[in-house]
Chains A and B, each alone.
Chain A
């Protein structure tokens, strides 16, 4: 039986597509399903630069001055000593289908997984429905997950904890995704051809 890969970015892209009715959101969703490489947007680049700067502050060599250095240094103080870009994976059976949950964590340190977010419009609970903390907590078995969210001027933390029902929460998200695919042939074919776990 084919095992399919499920990543937080796939489920995020699906959730974003459902919540955003613009034509662009379907294109983005199909690009994710088709694993189409798209140019990095300015907003994505800002996030990548911010994360890279935090990484730099965690090391020994810091070059030049960056716009958001004060906050980057504060966040670096939280994640310093952690391991960057560690992969995590775990098998999960949903109904009669087998899946491989997979992700790369920004930073993992002692008992906590950290994910660094850069956003211009943070509101409380923004990441509550994200699959990211569920999948990473489930794959690693670690007790804590923190989103470190910044707009460059300030930062906020959203805490999530591992709990007994986390497997069911992931299963519900995957079940919802699969039930959607039944009615979207184009998306279903892309998923079945591009997301076989052996391809990765």
Chain B
């Protein structure tokens, strides 16, 4: 069996994602996180007791970060596809405690993380994500919200000690802000002036978490499966774009003289249906050809003319 995958094989395999759901207490963050594919709850926050019995899943009560490492490295977790960590803030605190055992300098006298300490926590967080990736697991973090002043505005962000969260968020595929508006539980993946969010996956950003009556598969459906479908569509678009660019490149490569160049410019150039950056690519190919043929554009006649000078000024403008 080969480890090398063709692009179309990627969309057929299981989707592994890294995400974060944050918001106020009582909005249902843990229930949402547990709607991921085959979840195992790593419970730093005793959060499972707040989840309706029917939606509770396998879980582990965690006392220390070493507990988590032991579970990931020594226990049989092959049946779980998603590791749900509740909460991210508590886990970061436990990582700091764990690091302080071997190096007390990671914390300052007041117990807060030092700059160096935060650097070490960040490195350990990245190592943990790599460990989960190597075990082929998705990971969903749950976090409380905190408010931060940005200029004159107050913005909500995940509550993570020792950091504004930028280094954590960098590693994630998506981050959703969960709230209750008019009795509806919603998750927004698009950032706005009130809260930060992240939608690298390019999915529909506003999701409504309806009251559960059956299987708890909200994230599985709205994020994991939706992303898989999107990858399939993106793959088709990408192939179509590649074909169009190749076709344009070949057509322009085949231009042999100024007559063919003028014919192309007057009848073919910018005539295809625009697809992403296809006009820009066509313009670049044509500019290269103009240089090759030592021509320049005459604005009066709107035709290319031969240029016997050594200096070449070929440039085509999009209309």
**Contact call B280/A124, Cβ cutoff below 8 A:** no
A-B pairs with beta carbons under 8 A, tally: 59
User: Which of the four size classes fits the interface of chain A?
Assistant: 20 to 34
Nearest CB of B to A18, in Å: 10
Q: Which residue of A lies closest to B175 (CB)?
A: A124
Contacts of B212-248 to chain A: CB distance below 8 A: 237-238, 241
Nearest CB of B to A117, in Å: 13
**Contact call B170/A157, Cβ cutoff below 8 A:** yes
Q: Mark A131-170, 1 if CB is under 8 A from B, else 0.
A: 0000000001111100000000010110101000000000
Nearest CB of B to A102, in Å: 13
List residues of chain A with CB within 8 A of the CB of B166.
Answer: 122-124, 156
**Contact call A124/B169, Cβ cutoff below 8 A:** yes
Contacting B200 at CB < 8 Å: which of A83, A125, A157? A157
| Residue A185, interface by CB 8 Å | no
Chain B contributes a number of interface residues (CB within 8 A of A) equal to 30
List residues of chain B with CB within 8 A of the CB of A141.
Answer: 274
List residues of chain B with CB within 8 A of the CB of A109.
Answer: 277
Bound form: Cα–Cα A19–B149 in Å? 13
**Contact call A123/B150, Cβ cutoff below 8 A:** yes
**Contact call A124/B196, Cβ cutoff below 8 A:** yes
Bound form: Cα–Cα A170–B238 in Å? 29
| Residue B199, interface by CB 8 Å | yes
Bound form: Cα–Cα A109–B238 in Å? 12
| Residue B108, interface by CB 8 Å | no
Bound form: Cα–Cα A140–B275 in Å? 10
**Contact call B193/A128, Cβ cutoff below 8 A:** yes
| Residue B312, interface by CB 8 Å | no
Bound form: Cα–Cα A56–B70 in Å? 46
| Residue B182, interface by CB 8 Å | no
Q: Which residue of A lies closest to B192 (CB)?
A: A128
List residues of chain B with CB within 8 A of the CB of A143.
Answer: 202
**Contact call B150/A125, Cβ cutoff below 8 A:** yes
Nearest CB of A to B153, in Å: 9
Q: Which residue of A lies closest to B242 (CB)?
A: A110
Q: Mark A81-107, 1 if CB is under 8 A from B, else 0.
A: 001001000000000000000000000
**Contact call B165/A83, Cβ cutoff below 8 A:** no
List residues of chain B with CB within 8 A of the CB of A108.
Answer: 277, 280
List residues of chain A with CB within 8 A of the CB of B202.
Answer: 143-144, 159, 161
**Contact call B165/A124, Cβ cutoff below 8 A:** yes
Bound form: Cα–Cα A157–B274 in Å? 27
List residues of chain A with CB within 8 A of the CB of B193.
Answer: 128-129
| Residue A184, interface by CB 8 Å | no
| Residue B112, interface by CB 8 Å | no
Q: Which residue of B lies closest to A149 (CB)?
A: B166
Bound form: Cα–Cα A157–B280 in Å? 24
Bound form: Cα–Cα A157–B155 in Å? 19
Bound form: Cα–Cα A154–B171 in Å? 12
| Residue A111, interface by CB 8 Å | yes
List residues of chain B with CB within 8 A of the CB of A144.
Answer: 202
Contacting A83 at CB < 8 Å: which of B155, B198, B205, B277? B277
**Contact call A83/B281, Cβ cutoff below 8 A:** yes
Nearest CB of A to B20, in Å: 12
| Residue B191, interface by CB 8 Å | yes
Q: Mark B280-295, 1 if CB is under 8 A from A, else 0.
A: 1100100000000000
Contacting A111 at CB < 8 Å: which of B165, B190, B237, B274? B237
**Contact call A156/B277, Cβ cutoff below 8 A:** no
**Contact call A128/B191, Cβ cutoff below 8 A:** yes
Bound form: Cα–Cα A154–B123 in Å? 13
| Residue B151, interface by CB 8 Å | yes
Query: Which residues of A approach B to under 8 Å, CB–CB?
Result: 19, 83, 86, 108-111, 122-125, 128-129, 140-144, 154, 156-157, 159, 161
A-B interface, 7 closest residue pairs, ranked by CB to CB distance from nearest: A125-B196, A111-B276, A124-B166, A124-B196, A159-B200, A156-B170, A83-B280
Q: A128-B192, A159-B202, A161-B190 are in contact. List 10 more A-B contacts (CB 8 A).
A: A110-B276, A111-B237, A111-B276, A122-B166, A124-B157, A124-B164, A124-B169, A154-B170, A157-B200, A159-B200
Listed A/B pairs (23) with beta-carbon separation below 8 Å? A83-B284, A86-B277, A86-B280, A111-B241, A123-B166, A124-B164, A125-B150, A125-B155, A125-B191, A125-B196, A128-B191, A128-B192, A128-B196, A142-B276, A142-B277, A143-B202, A144-B202, A154-B170, A156-B166, A156-B170, A159-B198, A161-B190, A161-B199
Query: Which residues of B approach A to under 8 Å, CB–CB?
Result: 150-152, 155, 157, 164-167, 169-170, 190-193, 196, 198-200, 202, 205, 237-238, 241, 274, 276-277, 280-281, 284
